[in-house]
Amino acid sequence: MTILVDMDDTIEQLLEAWVKRANEKFDRNVTLDEITGWNVAAPYTGLTRKQIYDVIYEKGFWKTVKPMPGAAEALEYFMKKGHEVFIVTATEPEHVEEKMNGLLFRYFPFLTWNQVIITGRKQMIRGDVLIDDGIHNLEGGQYRKILFTAPHNRFYDAEANGMTRVRTWEEVVAIIDGMEVPD
Q: Which of 6, 111, 129, 172 is close enough to bind Mg ion by CB under 5 A?
A: 6
Q: Write out the binding residues for Mg ion, residues 23-82 only, by CB under 5 A.
A: none
Contact 129, 142 (CB under 8 A): no
With respect to Mg ion, which residue has the nearer C-beta, 6 or 78?
Answer: 6
Q: Which is nearer to Mg ion, 7 or 22 (CB)?
A: 7
Residue at 54: amino acid letter: D
Main-chain phi, psi angles of 7, to 5 degrees:
-100, -70
Sole window of 9-17, 55-63, 69-77, 106-114 interacting with Mg ion (rule: CB under 5 A):
9-17
Cα–Cα distance measured from residue 15 to residue 35, given in angstroms and rounded to the nearest whole number: 9
9 forms part of the interface with Mg ion (CB under 5 A): yes
> How many residues bind to Mg ion according to rule CB under 5 A?
5
6/86 with CB nearer Mg ion: 6
Going from the C-alpha of 15 to that of each of 75, 80, 175, the distances in angstroms are: 21, 30, 25
Site for Mg ion in 132-171 (CB under 5 A): 133-134
From the list 35-43, 57-65, 79-87, 125-133, the region that binds Mg ion by CB under 5 A is: 125-133
Residue 12 lies near Mg ion (rule: CB under 5 A): no
Decide: 11 and 68 in contact? Cβ < 8 Å. yes
Say if CB 77 and CB 173 are below 8 A apart. yes
- DSSP result, 58-97: STTGGGGPPBPTTHHHHHHHHHHTT-EEEEEE---GGGHH
CB of 26 or CB of 115, closer to Mg ion? 115
With CB under 5 A as the contact rule, the residue among 3, 4, 8, 85 that binds Mg ion is 8
Closest residue to Mg ion, judged by C-beta, is 8
Least distance CB 92 / Mg ion (angstroms): 13
Helix axes 169-179, 71-80, angle to 10 degrees: 20
Minimum CB–partner distance for residue 132 and Mg ion (Å): 6
Residues that bind Mg ion (CB under 5 A): 6, 8-9, 133-134
